[in-house]
Amino acid sequence: METVEKLTTVLRNHGMKITPQRLMIFKVLEKNTSHPSAEEVYNKVKKIYPAVSFTTIYKTLETLRDIGEIKELIIDEDRKHYDPNIDIHHHYICSHCKKILDIFEDFSPHVKLPDSLKSDYTVTGFQISFQGVCKECA
């Protein structure tokens, strides 16, 4: 996902309406590499569109996830995080401050199911979560 214009196209292609809320949420998400939670998205959107509701944030994130424009990260035990970068990549989460870093390395040549499972279990993808302590927390 690149620009607000792209969202306009994407929403139109899905027969969905272009609303200021959706555009503002998209604006907050695009090029955002901080993997925000719904609440963080809400707070950021509120600054540029104060009338927005939490419900709309949740529904819009769900919509964007369903049409494949963002990815829901199950990496923090406390809440869901959202990633506008839908290219395959992995993550590093600091055990201390919970900050999430992107890891852009292609592990697919080496990360496969063992042969014993390969024939019975399809793999649509995999996700690696590195744990550690970041340099700021160390």
Partner DNA sequence: CTGTGTGCAAAACGTTTGCATGCCT
Partner DNA sequence: AGGCATGCAAACGTTTTGCACACAG
In the complex, which residues of this chain contact DNA (CB under 7 A)?
12, 15-22, 37-39, 51-56, 58-60, 62-63, 78-80
* 37: region left, alpha or beta (phi > 0 left; psi from -120 to 50 alpha): beta
50 near a copy of itself, rule: CB under 8 A: no
**In the block, which residue shows the tokens 């590499």?**
33
Q: What minimum distance in Å lies between the beta carbon of 34 and a copy of itself? A: 16
Contacts of 77 by beta carbon, 8 Å cutoff, 6+ apart = none
User: Which phi and psi (to 5°) does residue 3 adopt?
Assistant: -135, 170
Buried b (16+ CB within 10 A) or exposed e, 46-57: beebeebeeebb
CB-wise, 51 or 117, nearer to a copy of itself?
117
Partner that binds at residue 59, options a copy of itself, DNA, none, CB closer than 5 to 8 Å by kind = DNA
111 near a copy of itself, rule: CB under 8 A: yes
Partner that binds at residue 31, options DNA, a copy of itself, none, CB closer than 5 to 8 Å by kind = none
Q: What minimum distance in Å lies between the beta carbon of 122 and DNA? A: 25
Residues from 59 through 88 that contact a copy of itself (CB under 8 A): 72, 74-77, 80
Q: Which two tokens stand for residue 130?
A: 């590195």
